Structure 1
């Protein structure tokens, strides 16, 4: 979470200088990011986890930057339209749940088996501006 501390602002400035129009997140000049919405947006609940799981299936050597880049590229090329359709459907259902709960704390469930997620984040809070 971004708390507007000078350290975070310096990080944002560095990202904007080094990767202009090529990074996504709070403070990005390229794309806006929903505030305080982890695990509701498809980039959080689907894309980043999927990419990370593919990239780190096997260890990468500390000096393996080229291999890391290749794995990231390969992981993105493995995404098929049906996966994006499922993420879109899940996103709509998650938003519906948030609205039904008046923006309050909601349980996060596996979108395929409707079971509670077994990780450190069992719930998310949707907060409006």
Structure 2
């Protein structure tokens, strides 16, 4: 069920909170991910689970912008195997709130991105 907060569509996320397992989660914030650079997340969808390493959490707004923590790009690499298909994945890691984000291929290598724009 989706209601109110952040929906991520390829290169943009639009405001909706998600309800996962019956409990609403807060909209994702850059601070949720900044301390997990280099760490592994489980990314699950209806096809299964893959392990992705978070390599960057890049700002998408100018320094000092009022909504800076709400507009950012998460960059991942698969831990093993090929790059998974584009799609909505539940990203999980202990100590980080679980968020459903659209993760898509970027560039010719195995890099993946999730763009979050909580300002819309």
TM-score over 0.5 for the alignment? no
Name the TM-score, length of structure 1 as normaliser: 0.23
Name the TM-score, length of structure 2 as normaliser: 0.24
The structure number with the bigger radius of gyration is 1
More helix by share: 1
